[in-house]
């Protein structure tokens, strides 16, 4: 967890230096999600915001869209997750994550 906290601070700092770099938002979302560890302490609002920022910057990035879909899936919002998986399938018809989940 200590390394994840360092990573979170690192990505937050990187975003202040270059807020238009989608990868930083994506990595921060993944780090915040891992920090919660599925034990009820995940800051879901931050995770969602970071994924949304990444997708706003790079709307057709399949990795970011799959991340957002998995975020909603973990939260039990299957219909919202499906929306993102369908976007992935439209962009990349043979994507295994989207195909499996749809």
Q: Give which of 4, 26, 3, 2 is closest to 14, Cα–Cα.
A: 26
> Residue 38 has what pLDDT?
56
Instruction: Tell me the C-alpha distance between 12 and 80, whole Å.
Output: 27
Instruction: Tell me the C-alpha distance between 55 and 17, whole Å.
Output: 19
Per-residue pLDDT tens digits for 57-93: 999 999 999 999 999 999 999 999 999 999 999 999 9
Per-residue pLDDT tens digits for 3-44: 999 999 999 999 999 999 999 999 999 999 999 875 668 899
Confidence of residue 94 (pLDDT cuts 50, 70, 90): very high
Instruction: Tell me the C-alpha distance between 46 and 32, whole Å.
Output: 7
Measured CA distances, 92 to 27, 47, 60, 88, 95 (Å): 22, 24, 10, 6, 6
């Amino acid at each position: 967890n200590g390394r994840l906290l360092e990573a979170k601070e690192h990505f937050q700092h990187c975003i202040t230096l270059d807020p238009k770099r989608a990868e930083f938002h994506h990595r921060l979302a993944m780090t915040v999600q891992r920090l919660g560890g599925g034990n009820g302490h995940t800051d879901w609002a931050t995770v969602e915001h970071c994924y949304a920022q990444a997708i706003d910057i790079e709307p057709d990035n399949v990795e970011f869209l799959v991340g957002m879909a998995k975020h909603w899936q973990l939260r039990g919002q299957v219909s919202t997750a499906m929306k993102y998986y369908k976007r992935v399938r439209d962009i990349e018809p043979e994507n295994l994550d989207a195909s499996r989940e749809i």
